[in-house]
Amino acid sequence: MYHSAVRFWQKRSLRFWLTSGLIMTISPFIAFSILTYIFVHERIVNPLLDLTSEQIGILSPINELQTTLWDVSRTVTGFAINAEPNLSEEYAIQAQRIDNAFSRLSEASNSAYVQLKDDLASAQQQWLRVAAHSEVILREPHTHMSPAFGSKVITFENEISALGYKLEQVYEDLQQQNEQLRHQVLETLEFANKMFVLVLLSATLIGLLGLLILNRSLLCSMNKLTEGASKFATGDTSHHIDIGTPMEMASVAHTFNSMKNKIIEQHKALELEANMDGLTGLLNRRKFNEQIELELNLARQGSYPVSVIICDIDHFKQFNDTYGHLDGDEALKAVAQTLKNGIRDNDKACRYGGEEFVIILPHCASNAAYMIADKLRQKVASQMIIIEERKVSPLTISMGVAVFPEHGKTSETLIKHADQALYKAKDHGRNRVFMASTDC
C-alpha cells in the first residue's frame, strides 16, 4: 500500500506538480471570496431582507388600521346623526379589530427601530382617546343635536382625523424606508455577486496565466531538453538543444550541448583509433575488411570496377636484421607514407599486416590500377630511407593487382587473386607488379 502510493506520486509529471502548486496558491483566494460571499449574505443581505419583510408585515396591519378607522369614523358620525342602536354593535366589532391590529403591530415591530415603535405607541394612545370619545358619543341618548353633543362629535372627528393622518404618515415613512432598504439590499447583493464573480474569474485567469507562463518558461524548455536527450540517446548527434529561458534551463542545455560535443569528439577519436594502424597511420585490417565490403557493394550497385593492390616489402627481414626492429618501424612508416601520398583521396591505403599493405581503388579498371601500382612501386624504390640521419638504400615492394568484377566478385576471391599475383611478383624476382589472371 505504502509502496504503491509512493510509486503513484513518483510517476506524476512536472506539469502535475506545477498545476497542483498553482491551485494550492490560488485556492486561499477562492476560499476567501466564497467565505466573504457567504458572510455578506448571512450577516448583511439576509438580515436586511428580513427587516424589509418585517416592515412589509407592519405595513399591512397599518393599512388595515387606516381602513377600519374610516369605518369607525363613519359608524360614530352615523350614530351621531341617525342614533341607530345597531351602530353601537358595529362600532364594538370595529374597535375590537383596531385593538387586534395594534396588538399585532406591537408584536410585529419587536425588532423595528425606535422611532417606529414610538410612533405606533403614540398612535395607540391617540386611538385610546378616539375610543373614549366614541364611547361617550355612542352612550349619549339624544334625540336632537345639542351644542355640547355637537362639540363632542367635532372633537371626535378632529381626534380620529389626527390619528388617520398620523397613521398615514407612519405608513408613508415606513414604505419609503422599506423602498430605500430594499434598494440598498439589492445594491449590496449585486455588489457582492459582482465581487464574487470578479474574484473567481481573476483567480482563474491568474491561475491560467501562471500555468501559461510556467508552461512556456519551464515545461517547454524541459520538453526541449528531454527531446534533445532522447534524440542523442537514439544516435541523432546533429540535434542542438536551443533554450533561451529560464536562465537555469538555458545553462543546463548549454552544458548538455558541450557534453554532447565532447562525447562526439571522443567517439570520433576512439573510432579513428579503432580504425587506424598505430604505427603507420593507415587504416587497419579491421577497417579494410569493412571498407572493401562497402566499396564492392557500391560498385555492384553502380556497375563500376574496383581494384585491389596488395604490396609486400621485399626482404624486410633482412632490413630488420641489419638495422634493428625500431629502424624497421621507421622504414615501414616511410613506405606507408609514400603509398598514401601516391593515391587519390577516394582511394584507401591500409596496413594488411606485418610489412604488407593493401590499397583499394574505386572506379579503377585493371590498366589504370596496374599503372598506379607500378608508379607506387617506382616511388618506393626511388625513396631513400633515412636511419639516424643517414640515408640507407631504398626498399622495394612487390605488388599483386586484382580487379572487381573480372578477377573476383567477392572480397575474399579478390584478395586471394591479388595475393597469388603478389606471390608471382616475388617469384619473378621482386620489385615488380603482377596482374591477377582470370584463369587462376
Ligand X SMILES: Nc1nc2c(ncn2[C@@H]2O[C@H](COP(=O)(O)OP(=O)(O)OP(=O)(O)O)[C@@H](O)[C@H]2O)c(=O)[nH]1
Q: Which residues contact 260 (CB under 8 A, 6 or more apart)?
A: 232, 237
Chosen residue from 328, 342, 362, 408 binding ligand X by CB under 6 A: 328
Q: Which is nearer to ligand X, 364 or 421 (CB)?
A: 421
**CA-based nearest residue to 399, from 281, 324, 308:** 308
The answer to whether 424 contacts ligand X (rule: CB under 6 A) is no
C-alpha cell at position 261? 560535443
The answer to whether 314 contacts ligand X (rule: CB under 6 A) is yes
Smallest distance from ligand X to CB 394, Å: 14
The answer to whether 306 contacts ligand X (rule: CB under 6 A) is no
How big is the CA angle at 414 (ends 412 and 418), to the nearest 5 degrees?
A: 120
From 25-33, 54-62, 160-168, 308-316, give the range in contact with ligand X by CB under 6 A.
308-316
The answer to whether 246 contacts ligand X (rule: CB under 6 A) is no
Q: Which residues contact 208 (CB under 8 A, 6 or more apart)?
A: none
The alpha carbon dihedral of 136, 140, 145, 148 has a sign of negative
The answer to whether 7 contacts ligand X (rule: CB under 6 A) is no
CA–CA distance, 23 with 21 (Å, rounded to integer): 6
Q: Which is nearer to ligand X, 322 or 410 (CB)?
A: 322
Catalytic one of 84, 135, 179, 355: 355
The answer to whether 313 contacts ligand X (rule: CB under 6 A) is yes
**CA-based nearest residue to 287, from 339, 358, 336, 343:** 358
Which residues sit opposite 110 in a β-bridge?
none
The answer to whether 320 contacts ligand X (rule: CB under 6 A) is yes
C-alpha to C-alpha distances, 193 to 33, 87, 180, nearest whole angstrom? 10, 58, 20
Over the window 393 to 422, marking each residue x when it contacts ligand X by CB under 6 A and - when it does not, the resulting string is: ------------------------------
Which residues sit opposite 359 in a β-bridge?
309, 349
Instruction: Give me the phi and psi of 252, to 5 degrees please.
Output: -65, -45
306 with 296: CB under 8 angstroms?
yes
Cis amide bond preceding 305, omega within 30: no
Smallest distance from ligand X to CB 378, Å: 18
From 87-95, 124-132, 151-159, 321-329, give the range in contact with ligand X by CB under 6 A.
321-329
Q: Which is nearer to ligand X, 182 or 333 (CB)?
A: 333
Residue whose CB is nearest to ligand X in the complex, by number: 328
Total residues binding ligand X (CB under 6 A): 17
Q: Which is nearer to ligand X, 41 or 430 (CB)?
A: 430
Q: Which is nearer to ligand X, 305 or 328 (CB)?
A: 328
Is 265 known to be catalytic? no
CA–CA distance, 77 with 142 (Å, rounded to integer): 13
Smallest distance from ligand X to CB 269, Å: 23
For the chain, the C-alpha Rg in angstroms (whole number) is 60
Q: Which is nearer to ligand X, 300 or 317 (CB)?
A: 317
Q: Give the pairing type, strands 356-362 and 348-353.
A: antiparallel
Smallest distance from ligand X to CB 425, Å: 10
The answer to whether 427 contacts ligand X (rule: CB under 6 A) is no
Stated as kind and residue range, the H or E segment containing 309 is strand 306-313
The answer to whether 354 contacts ligand X (rule: CB under 6 A) is yes
Q: Which is nearer to ligand X, 101 or 401 (CB)?
A: 401
Q: Which residues of this protein are in contact with ligand X, per CB under 6 A?
A: 279, 312-318, 320, 325, 328-329, 332, 354-355, 426, 430
Catalytically active residues are 355
